[in-house]
Amino acid sequence: MPTPTPTLTRIHRPLLLAPAGNWECAKAAIENGADAIYFGLERFNARMRAENFTEGDLPELMAWLHQRGVKGYVTMNTLVFPQELPAAEQYLRSIILAGVDAAIVQDVGLCKLIRHLSPDFPIHASTQMTVTSAAGAEFAHELGCNLVVLARECSLKEIDKIQAQLSDREISIPLEVFVHGALCVAYSGQCLTSESLGGRSANRGECAQACRMPYDLIVDGEYYHLGDKKYLLSPQDLAGLNVLPEIIKSGVSCLKIEGRLKTPEYVASVTKVYRSALDRIVADLGISAEPDRDLYNLEMAFSRGLYTGWFEGINNQALVHARFGKKRGVYLGEVTRVYPDREAIAIDPIAPIKAGDGIVFDCGHPEDREEGGRVYEVFKNERQSEVMLSFGRGAVNFRQVYIGDKVWKTSDPELDKQVRQTYAGDVPKFQRSIDLEIHGEINQPLIAIARDEVGYVVQVESEILLVAAQNQPLTTDKLSSQLGRLGNTPFRLGSLTNHLVDDLMLPVSALNQIRRELVTKLTEARSQPKSWQLSPTNKLTDLLPEVDRAVLNPPQLIILVRKLDQIPAAIESGIATIYCELEDPRKYHEAVQLVRAAKSKSNPPQIFVAPPRITKPGENWILEQVRSSDADGYLIRNYDHLEFFKTDRCIGDFALNVANPLTADYFYQNYTFDRLTASYDLNIDQLTALIRSCPRDWFEVTIHQHMPMFHMEHCVFCTFLSEGTDYTNCGRPCDEHQVKLRDRVGTEHILQADAGCRNTVFNGVAQTGAEYIHRLVELGVYNFRLEFVNESPQTVSETIGYYQQLLGGQISGTELWKSLQLSSQLGVTRGSLGV
């Protein structure tokens, strides 16, 4: 007989993980059913704008969380720069000693440091590590991670494939997914937009949210009219509620809610909805008893529109509606009539509205000041379905409100009050189950054993001996009634198993004393910090690589091209190493042949080609196409590349986020690289510190480029130049049109697609670090990269010529920058290397 399909009740119940930007948010999460919370400290966390906690808060916070049966994870999910490693080590020691349940980490070197300090402290690989495949999960596992937070772009089908492939590899590592909250349009850990535009790196917790800004679409040099669609890079918010059963069936171990910058009311509302839905699904009762109410609560908590994200696959039309990039709330309908003299409007509402609610009028220009205010009165109009909304005197400028304007409810004070009541006061409101076992026989004490969901076990014996019952013996019901009176405690009675021998009796006062002692003992047991191992002798300095000051080599330029016609320009300029990144990997064969045709030269160049930055399950055919080019080597950008090209010559690209010597050393010790590209997040002082802390020949530095800002699953070509949903039905407008995104200051950023139909937005203004190049040469750097996107062959030749003059001492860095300024229509900035 075939093995029956397991029911949901047999599937492991995933933890529900809620965000906490401060104490009140932590309380809101706990009282609404979170199994764990994640929070940041003052440094090294990807939400530096949150209130956050301090090192000094940790002992009290962790004791409180554990008393309530809740885990606490610290986010150390940023890149760590060389000068910061000693401080990071101290942070880690404090975190481990405080009994924190895990650290959520992005930086490879930081993972290495944690495992050196403690063999058993849990490490969770952050979504900032951009894990999209089984190879990525295996990389994290080998690094010492105990759990992997998958990239939000993974669909349910892809999660199933990753689980199956991990099983085939005999690797057991739990997976975590985001289930609700804001979606970054770019892959987390791969967004350089804030760094490029303002020196505020998303990899350092300082994202400026440029994805939420309006952009104009420029197609083939002309403005492309999209009506009221301007927010071309702003996804709707993720809501996995409707696919929660499928998420649970995928076997993920944890469901994560986004929102460390959100309010306590948001944390409470969203946690409560998912707690209820999760419990009902596991009990096989369906998603929700009140789906409309749950949706209303989620939208009022925070919503730019709610959508299942990438869980159900790619649907570019649904992911980004492009009409606004900020919170809206619940959609009420459109304005049907305006009554300026009565300071009122009429609508046909599709959602409830009442006096006191706050609304905003949406005329299609969210970048401008919008009219809105609190509703003073709601009353029926003469039309059957219409209602009139009146406002306080002067609250709304009705000359700026028009028939057809969309109306959104942005505030519901009554709901806010109800939500705040869920976590107000000091008495626990959310209680976690404990199971009791009762043992005893005549003339012996009653023994009560309590077990909680976390695994703690305590035992209490009565001071009074059990006697034979003349009447009203201690039945299971009576024991449950008396011992289950756990109000005002963090506990509720789950099951009670009665092992009493014969009919026995004990006074009620004794039972009450047993109950109080059980609560006290269990609370004390749970309050003890986790005893992770922490080596007193292992130190950061043990891991630092030896610095070998070898003989200096003469500096050389490496050219990265993205168009075939740029290759001859690089060859004619005498460049010894060329990198090539093309949308279609089938064209790499032609690129290689172009370079090989130059072999007759006295110093023939070598060519490395670049696979796409992201690899999903089932996409190894792309890597096969890349390898079939028979290039001299390959640019390594993700964990699948590390695995697939492990026997080839490799250059570690910037996407590996090498920002400190521990990360660099890990890659050199475990993989074969000719060299690594330093992270684009480093300014000149941080880059200098990195170079000084490692052998001088480990790195190449990108000194001229159009910064790759957004790298995203969202396809702008498909969304706005077709009616298709993905590559299967979009008609491939990326093959026919040149597209740019014009920002608010008029810069036109270059858009390109890759073989996986993922888009990269390149900064329209090139950046140069020319003024620092001699300083870097003195440090021993001799590999300098120039990157091109859509420049003409002539521009490529001229730019290479300027840098050759710079390296030859014929011009200074400042002179080069000024020359490039004059020769470039878009301009050249000094870039993000500046301090």
**DSSP per-residue string spanning 620-644:** HHHHHHHHTT--SEEEE-SHHHHHH
Check residue 540 and give its pLDDT: 97
Question: Which residue type does 204 have?
Answer: R
Instruction: Write the CA distances from 254 to 4, 178, 422, integer angstroms.
Output: 25, 8, 23
Query: Which value, to the nearest 10 degrees, does the dihedral of the CA atoms of residues 353, 359, 364, 369 take?
Result: 170
Enumerate the β-bridge partners of residue 378: 389
Instruction: Write the CA distances from 763 to 196, 716, 833, integer angstroms.
Output: 7, 16, 15
Structure tokens at 180: 């609700």
Structure tokens at 605: 């160049």
Check residue 368 and give its pLDDT: 87
Residues of the chain with pLDDT under 70: 1-11, 46, 48-50, 198-200, 382, 549-551, 599-603, 822-832, 834-835
Instruction: Write the CA distances from 78 to 118, 462, 724, 735, integer angstroms.
Output: 20, 53, 36, 36
434 three-state secondary structure: strand
387 three-state secondary structure: strand
Check residue 2 and give its pLDDT: 36
pLDDT tens-digit map of 94-139: 999 999 999 999 999 999 999 999 999 999 999 999 999 999 999 9
Check residue 601 and give its pLDDT: 63
**Residue 209 Rama label (left phi>0; alpha psi -120 to 50; beta):** left
The closest alpha carbon to 710, from 311, 317, 45, 232, belongs to: 232
Q: What is the rounded distance in angstroms from the CA atom of residue 39 to the CA atom of residue 41?
A: 7
290 Cβ neighbours under 8 A, 6+ residues apart: none
Q: For residues 499 and 446, is the Cβ–Cβ distance under 8 A?
A: no
The closest alpha carbon to 621, from 585, 675, 568, belongs to: 585
Q: What is the rounded distance in angstroms from the CA atom of residue 540 to the CA atom of residue 116?
A: 8
Q: What is the rounded distance in angstroms from the CA atom of residue 324 to the CA atom of residue 822?
A: 38
Report the interhelical angle of 793-807 vs 813-823 (nearest 10°). 170
Please report how many Cα atoms fall inside a 13 Å half-sphere around the Cα of residue 110, on the Cβ side: 33
Q: What is the rounded distance in angstroms from the CA atom of residue 269 to the CA atom of residue 261?
A: 15
Q: For residues 341 and 418, is the Cβ–Cβ distance under 8 A?
A: no
Check residue 696 and give its pLDDT: 83
Q: Where are the beta strands (DSSP E) in 102-215?
A: 102-105, 123-125, 147-149, 175-181
Q: What is the rounded distance in angstroms from the CA atom of residue 137 to the CA atom of residue 149?
A: 9
Residue ranges of domains in the chain, CATH in brackets: 12-183+235-304 (3.20.20.70), 186-196+205-234+710-763 (no CATH), 329-421 (2.40.10), 432-527 (no CATH), 554-706+765-814 (3.20.20.60)
Secondary-structure breakdown of the chain: helix, strand, coil percentages, each rounded to the nearest 5: 35, 25, 45
* φ/ψ of residue 242, rounded to 5: -70, -20
Check residue 551 and give its pLDDT: 60
Q: What is the rounded distance in angstroms from the CA atom of residue 90 to the CA atom of residue 93?
A: 5
DSSP one-letter string for 60-119 = HHHHHHHHTT-EEEEEE-S---GGGHHHHHHHHHHHHHTT-SEEEE--HHHHHHHHHH-S
The H or E element spanning position 379 is strand 372-380
Check residue 52 and give its pLDDT: 83
Check residue 6 and give its pLDDT: 37
pTM, two decimal places: 0.94
The closest alpha carbon to 146, from 118, 168, 175, belongs to: 175
DSSP summary character for residue 342: G
Q: What is the rounded distance in angstroms from the CA atom of residue 54 to the CA atom of residue 22?
A: 10
Q: For the chain, how far is it from start to end, CA to CA, in angstroms?
A: 69
Q: For residues 714 and 757, is the Cβ–Cβ distance under 8 A?
A: no
Q: What is the rounded distance in angstroms from the CA atom of residue 726 to the CA atom of residue 756?
A: 11
The closest alpha carbon to 278, from 297, 252, 303, belongs to: 252
Check residue 193 and give its pLDDT: 83
The closest alpha carbon to 240, from 274, 276, 266, belongs to: 274
Instruction: Write the CA distances from 344 to 208, 332, 373, 379, integer angstroms.
Output: 38, 15, 11, 11
